[in-house]
Amino acid sequence: MACGLNVFSIITLIVANLSPLAGGAPQVPCYFIFGDSLADDGNNNPLLSLAKVNFPPYGIDFPDGPTGRFTNGRTTVDIIAELLGFTDRILPFVNATGTNILRGVNYASGGGGIRDETGTNVGGRFSMNGQLANHQVTLSRIATLRRSTVDEAKEYVGKCIYSVGIGSNDYINNYLIPQIYPTSTLFTPDQYAAALITQYEQQLRTLYTAGARKVALFDVGPIGCTPAEIATFGTNGSACVDFINAYVTLFNTRLKTLVDQLNCDLTDGKFIYINTTHINSGDPSAAGITILNAPCCSVSATTGLCIPNSIPCTNRSIYAFWDAFHPTEIVSQLVAPRAYSAATPMDTYPIDIRCLAQLQLY
């Protein structure tokens, strides 16, 4: 996707894109990550929670083993960080200390959602509001490290990339469990999507107030295609649980509209939409992924997560799902490069992360 830059900027962009290979500086000073289990890299480990995975076979293909990532290897945000030129992992908030925070922090939390009550059924987790509070702590720490004011710290982070991917749990661990949560009786699917977006908009404006200026928003993927939801609701002959994906579409449509609204209102910032649903809509067999609706590992009937210390499938590159909810690394290897550098105009809107990183907003 072209960035619409002048000749000088294009040359700068080409050089910057070589930096991950040439060992140069990252394309932005730091990368901050908000979200749920698709991006969590260990924030839930110290919590009393069913939503934590710091045990084998998680991390079987990750250099550091089971770190708390909900997959066999790297997550999508891990790979995006690499594409941005970061040679070291972005650390989870619960472990990030010292000068490490100057290159970013990961706040994502398994079970977390836009709504504060989302995920109470799994126990401890950081909601989006909790993650925003943790980011305020980081801003104060950055100001201390740089011997500056918080306002100067905000100017520093304004040059960084932020990614936010949240909302899945507001369905999986809220709206779709009527025996625990009343939301499905209080809201129609359309009303619920609208309520989520209203709250999400407030949270994103809070993030902007905290200094964020380059923000990539990930859609909610087709969660009706997860093995867990298929097992719970059935498909009536379809490949996925169609009504769940229809609920999610209501949310995603509003999210893309919200991107336009935020860009209109907050003119010194840039928000973009990452359409993972479209990225994942192609023929997976072209990438060698042939098993689409079964987990690679043996899963708990209670949590849908891998049974601790169980032996997973050996050919993980042919499985779309690692456990009953989360994709394998091979899926992240397909999604991340197209979020970073769009292969089609449908992948991202209005620009991709690569172009977002190059924007000069100050």
Picking from 94, 90, 88, the residue whose alpha carbon sits closest to that of residue 105 is 90
Q: Taking the mean position of all CA atoms in its chain, how far away is CA 246?
A: 21
Q: Is 135 considered catalytic here?
A: no
37, 127, 163, 332: which one is catalytic? 37
Picking from 74, 42, 36, the residue whose alpha carbon sits closest to that of residue 55 is 42
How large is the C-alpha radius of gyration of the chain? 19
Q: How far apart are CA 46 and CA 94, in angstroms?
A: 8
Torsion 245-249-251-256 (CA) sign: positive
Picking from 17, 71, 44, 98, the residue whose alpha carbon sits closest to that of residue 355 is 17
Written as one string, the DSSP assignment of 198-213 is: HHHHHHHHHHHHTT--
Q: Is 268 considered catalytic here?
A: no
Q: How far apart are CA 140 and CA 91, in angstroms?
A: 17
Contact between residue 65 and residue 76 where contact means Cβ atoms under 8 Å apart:
no
61, 323, 347, 352: which one is catalytic? 323
Q: How far apart are CA 134 and CA 128, in angstroms?
A: 10
At 125, give phi and psi (nearest 5°): -170, 165
At 79, give phi and psi (nearest 5°): -70, -40
Instruction: For residue 129, give the 3-state DSSP assignment.
Output: helix
Quickly count: other Cβ atoms within 10 Å of residue 105's Cβ: 28
Q: If you search the block for the tokens 């129609």, which residue do you land on?
A: 188
135, 170, 278, 326: which one is catalytic? 326
Q: Is 352 considered catalytic here?
A: no
Q: If you search the block for the tokens 């990225």, which residue do you land on?
A: 279
Structure token digits, residue 138: 């980081």
Q: How far apart are CA 240 and CA 218, in angstroms?
A: 21
Catalytic residues: 37, 323, 326
